[in-house]
Structure 1
Amino acid sequence: MKYVIIGGDAAGMSAAMQIVKYEKDAKIVTLERGAIYSYGQCGLPYTISGLVPSTDDLIARSVETFRNKYGIDARTYHEVQTIDPKTKTVAGRDIQSGKIFRLSYDKLLNASGASPIVPDWKGIDLRGVYTLKTIPDANQILQNLRDDIQNVTIIGGGYIGIEMAESFRTLGKSVRLIARGTYVGKIFDPEMAQFIHEQAKKHQIELIVNENVTSIEGDRSVEAIRTDRSLYKTDLVLISAGVKPNTSFIQETGITSGIKGAIQTDRYMETNVKDIYAAGDCTLQYHMVKGQDDYIPLGTTANKQGRIAGLNMVGKPREFRGVTGTSIIKFMDLTLGKTGLSEQEAQKLHIPYEAVKIEAQDIARYYPEARPIHIKLIYRSDNYRLLGGQIIGEKGVDKRLDVLSTALFNQMTVRELEDLDLSYAPPYNGSWDPIQRAARKAMRG
């Protein structure tokens, strides 16, 4: 069997390794339009701040490792342009030589990922304007992050925008973050997002909300950002306006797509076109709480989907169960966690719901260094089934968030949350865990 995989990062190489493991005589060709395989994109902000010493530290396996150790025909600078399901061929261009290539396949995996959204603003090509999605992106920022660059402007208040605000502030830069919405951190409900705003103020990070960027000003290098309300001087701009799936080349294939053009698959990661699979950031994810496909491109999901695609491609059936929409972000002194639905999402889906919010301590209140932790639970008003949770605090957020995600995966109610046997000792918890206290409040309600 000949397998062709488009994309050499998390999803693509997770699939490749399953094929290597279970089909000894398989011929595997991987096509990566960049030069680097299998690296941790989520670590990029921490290379900018210096917490991670080098972008090389993010690489899990080199191209040479895939070639020499695992026998994969791992190609770099190969950009796919078309897929022909009738002839079962993939064609594209070698970026370095300019030559056109054409490959046949028995089974194909599209793991082409996603690219940053770059609005069509005037001045977008000025020196000092960046996005952050790849190691070359990070290296470019690091190479040009001179001492005389003091004023940094971030456009967009999502995951990368928030993390990069911390990274630049850690370096001693003056940081401004511009968001077109009413607040930063739109995955959270407004009253939870206020803690992000308070933290930004505490660390002298300027938040500008309810403003739309209209242009980037400057001669050869960026000098200012113009919005529909004001003009802000700046030395560097990071655009963090979200991502879009790299799926333009599937338009003539008959492959079904959905949100933002992301590819729709079945539970076995196969598309509606036989022998063509898809996984990772170019793909939709089934949201277990919403009961429908969604687009939440995250590294954990890409690795899972890729592994499952690889297993199914070699005839070892395995279902992708879906996601619960779990994410966690570090922002200065706080950890920001969310899983399942927010109130806003429940409203849009017309789900009958209630919500409770509490402030507690992350450990026993009398134990030294106990810190506040803020928890919000959303649950169905008709049967008390948990719909989602948001947790913000300095410590103890991650373990509670994972409990809630597990509860969502198993369709538990808030009453069952109260019944859980969770670990307790004063240095680690109170006798009632904060999420159980929130659950008790919901049941009293």
Structure 2
Amino acid sequence: MKYVIIGGDAAGMSAAMQIIKHDREAKVVTLEKGGIYSYGQCGLPYTINGLIPSTDDLIARSVDTFRNKLGIDARAYHEVQSIDPKTKTVAGQDLQSGKMFSISYDKLLIASGASPVIPDWKGIGLNGVHTLKTIPDAERIIQNLSEDIQHVTVVGGGYIGLEMAESFRTVGKNVRLIHRGTYVGKMFDADMAQYIHKEAEKQGIELILNEHVTAIEGDRSVELIRTDQNLYSTDLVLISAGIKPNTSFIQGTGITTGIRGAIQTNRYMETNVRDIYAAGDCTLHYHMVKEQDDYIPLGTTANKQGRIAGLNMAGQQRMFKGITGSSILKFMDLSLGKTGLSEWEAKQLNIPYDVVKIEAKDIADYYPGSRPLHIKLTYRSDNFRLLGGQVIGEKGVDKRVDVLGTALFNEMTIFDLEDLDLSYAPPFNGSWDPIQRAARQAMRGLTDRN
């Protein structure tokens, strides 16, 4: 059996490892547009500020390891430009030699990932204007980040925008973050995002909200960034305007796509075209709470979907159960965690909902070093099933988000949260965990209304 995989990172190589494990006769060819395989993209912001000393530290396995130790025909700088499902071939260009190639397959996996959105602003090609998605991107930023660079502007207040604002600030740069919305961290509700805003102010990061960037100006290098309201001086610009699935090459295949052009699959990672599978940031993800496909590209999901695709391609049936949208990021002294639906999302989906919000301590409040936790739970107002949780604080955020994510996976109610048997000792928790306190407050609210 000949397997061809488009993409050499998380989803693609997770699939390849399962295929060679379960099909000893497999011939596996992987086609990667870049030159680096299997690396931790989520660690890139921490190479910029030197917390991770080298981008090499992010590489899990080299191309040579896949070729020489694992027997995978791992090809670098091979850009796939088209797929022909009738002849079962993929075609493209070897970017090093310039030669075209065509490869046949018995089963094909599309794991081509996603790329940064590049706005069509004037001056987008000036020196000092960057995006961050790959190791070469990070290395260009590091090379550009000399002592002469004093003022850095980050455009976009999502995951990468916030992480990069932190990274630039921790190396002593003056940081401005421009965001077109009313608040940064749109994965959170506005009342929770206020804590992010306060942290930015505390750390000396300037937030510019409700302004749209229209142009970048300078001679050869960036000097100014223009919005629809103001003009700002800057030495470097990092654009974090979101990502888009790399799916342009599937045109004409008949493969069904959805949000942002991401590929739709069934729960076994099969597309609607026979013997073609898809996984990772180029695909849609079934959201267990929304009970519909969504597009939330995260590294954990890419690895999981890739593994499941590889198992199914090799004849080991395994179903992808879906996501709850669990995520966490670090922003200066805060951890920002979310899973499931925010209040805003529940409202958009016309789900009958209610919310509860509390401030608690991450550990026993009498134990030295306790820190405040801000928790907001969203739950259905008809059957009290948990819909989501947002947690922001200095410590203990990851534990609570993971508990809430597990609760969502198991369709628990706010009443069930109180019954959970969670670990307790004063250095680690209070006798009632903060999420249980939130659940109890919601239950008291129900009693008061009744």
Query: Which TM-score bucket, shorter chain as reference?
Result: over 0.9
1:349-407, Cα deviation, whole Å (9 max, x unpaired) = 00000000000000001000110000000000001000000000000000010000000
Cα distance in 2, alignment partners of residues 142 and 432 from structure 1: 45
Which residue is 2:50 aligned to? 50
1:207-265, Cα deviation, whole Å (9 max, x unpaired) = 00000000001110000100000000000000000000000011100000000000000
Which residue is 2:270 aligned to? 270
SS in 1 for 2:306: helix
Cα distance in 1, alignment partners of residues 63 and 345 from structure 2: 41
Alignment of 1:232 onto 2:211: no
Cα distance in 1, alignment partners of residues 264 and 283 from structure 2: 6
**Cα distance, 1:6 vs. partner?**
0.1
**Cα distance, 1:144 vs. partner?**
1.2
1:116-143, Cα deviation, whole Å (9 max, x unpaired) = 0000000000000000000000001111
* Structural mapping, 1:163-312, within 5 Å: 163-312=163-312
The letter for the 2-side match of 1:118 is: I
Which residue is 2:35 aligned to? 35
Which residue is 1:97 aligned to? 97
TM norm structure 1: 1.00
SS in 2 for 1:421: coil
Cα distance in 2, alignment partners of residues 235 and 349 from structure 1: 42
Aligned-residue CA RMSD in angstroms? 0.4
**Cα distance, 1:320 vs. partner?**
0.4
1:246-303, Cα deviation, whole Å (9 max, x unpaired) = 0001110000000000000000000000000000000000000000000000000000
Alignment of 1:339 onto 2:303: no
Which residue is 1:63 aligned to? 63
Which residue is 1:6 aligned to? 6
Q: How many residues align?
A: 445
**Cα distance, 1:444 vs. partner?**
1.1
Cα distance in 2, alignment partners of residues 290 and 444 from structure 1: 27
Which residue is 1:436 aligned to? 436
Cα distance in 2, alignment partners of residues 344 and 86 from structure 1: 44
Which residue is 1:357 aligned to? 357
Alignment of 1:374 onto 2:374: yes
Which residue is 2:448 aligned to? none
**Cα distance, 1:102 vs. partner?**
0.2
Which residue is 1:157 aligned to? 157
Cα distance in 2, alignment partners of residues 143 and 407 from structure 1: 45
Which residue is 2:409 aligned to? 409
1:8-44, Cα deviation, whole Å (9 max, x unpaired) = 0000000000011011111100000000000000000
Cα distance in 2, alignment partners of residues 203 and 29 from structure 1: 48
The letter for the 1-side match of 2:268 is: Y
Cα distance in 2, alignment partners of residues 280 and 77 from structure 1: 20
Cα distance in 1, alignment partners of residues 122 and 215 from structure 2: 5
Could you tell me which runs of 5 or more consecutive residues in structure 1 were left unpaired when the two chains were aligned: none
The letter for the 2-side match of 1:307 is: R
Cα distance in 1, alignment partners of residues 211 and 430 from structure 2: 43
Cα distance in 2, alignment partners of residues 235 and 93 from structure 1: 36
Cα distance in 1, alignment partners of residues 49 and 143 from structure 2: 13
SS in 1 for 2:48: helix
**Cα distance, 1:49 vs. partner?**
0.7
1:47-101, Cα deviation, whole Å (9 max, x unpaired) = 0010000000000000000000010000000000000000000000011111000
Cα distance in 2, alignment partners of residues 367 and 96 from structure 1: 60
Cα distance in 2, alignment partners of residues 266 and 198 from structure 1: 43
Cα distance in 2, alignment partners of residues 327 and 22 from structure 1: 31
Which residue is 2:148 aligned to? 148
The letter for the 1-side match of 2:137 is: D
Cα distance in 2, alignment partners of residues 294 and 219 from structure 1: 42
Cα distance in 1, alignment partners of residues 17 and 289 from structure 2: 30
1:94-119, Cα deviation, whole Å (9 max, x unpaired) = 11111000000000000000000000
SS in 2 for 1:281: helix
The letter for the 1-side match of 2:326 is: T
SS in 2 for 1:80: strand
Could you tell me which runs of 5 or more consecutive residues in structure 2 were left unpaired when the two chains were aligned: 446-450
Which residue is 1:135 aligned to? 135
Runs ≥4 residues deviating over 4 A? none
Cα distance in 1, alignment partners of residues 185 and 141 from structure 2: 24
SS in 1 for 2:293: strand
Cα distance in 1, alignment partners of residues 23 and 111 from structure 2: 20
SS in 1 for 2:60: coil
Cα distance in 2, alignment partners of residues 416 and 273 from structure 1: 42
Which residue is 2:316 aligned to? 316
Cα distance in 1, alignment partners of residues 186 and 38 from structure 2: 30
Cα distance in 2, alignment partners of residues 428 and 96 from structure 1: 54
Cα distance in 2, alignment partners of residues 251 and 99 from structure 1: 22
The letter for the 1-side match of 2:129 is: V
Cα distance in 1, alignment partners of residues 442 and 257 from structure 2: 39
TM norm structure 2: 0.99
Which residue is 1:25 aligned to? 25
Cα distance in 2, alignment partners of residues 292 and 89 from structure 1: 32
Cα distance in 2, alignment partners of residues 402 and 312 from structure 1: 28
Cα distance in 2, alignment partners of residues 41 and 302 from structure 1: 12
Cα distance in 1, alignment partners of residues 64 and 380 from structure 2: 52
The letter for the 2-side match of 1:190 is: A
SS in 2 for 1:115: strand
Which residue is 1:73 aligned to? 73
